[in-house]
Amino acid sequence: MEPTSIKQKVDKQFISIIIIIWALDLLTKFWALDFLDVAKNPEYAYKGYDILGNFLRFRLTYNTGGVFGIFQGNAIVFHILTGVAILFLLFYYIKTPDFSRWFQISIAFIVGGALGNFTDRFFRPGVVDFIDMGIGTHRWPTYNIADSFITVGALVLALAFYLMEKKRQ
């Protein structure tokens, strides 16, 4: 059995998923920057724009730190870490000999989302976050579309690893 070449591993579907997620994330951030701009819509300055009452609203913030806003003010560190993570995931994906479709999709989700946040860190003062969920004062950290795909991708990747391990046994 011949080893899989890089060209065979990185197929059109894999690249398409990454590009679609990256574009979707960037487009929603452009929308958020325009629609939630406090100068244009001062009424959104503090509370944001309610979608489902207090449970779901859009509120523009910039994250200059890491996941869930930890280590604020360390954008350069997270810029480097994000770039290294993208390269690592692509390298790992290419070097993994036997992968499932779930594995492929999970890596594409994570890389697509990471590219969205990486782009923000490069061109903006921080990552644009605008999805605010919670009940009353109990709020989940504000996030974006990229964060959603990274989270779903990580969960699917864990499932893919579980299924690959189960198949090996």
Which among 25, 120, 132, 147 is annotated as catalytic?
147
Say whether 147 is catalytic.
yes
- Write b or e for each residue in 63-92: b if 16 or more Cβ atoms lie within 10 A of its Cβ, otherwise e: bbbbeebeeeeebeebbeebeebbeebbee
Closest listed residue to residue 59, CA positions, set 21, 77, 33 = 33
Beta-ladder partners of 127: 63
Which among 25, 120, 129, 132 is annotated as catalytic?
129
Residue 11 per-residue DSSP state: -
Cβ atoms of residues 143 and 131 within 8 Å: yes
Say whether 11 is catalytic.
no
- Catalytic annotation, residues: 129, 147
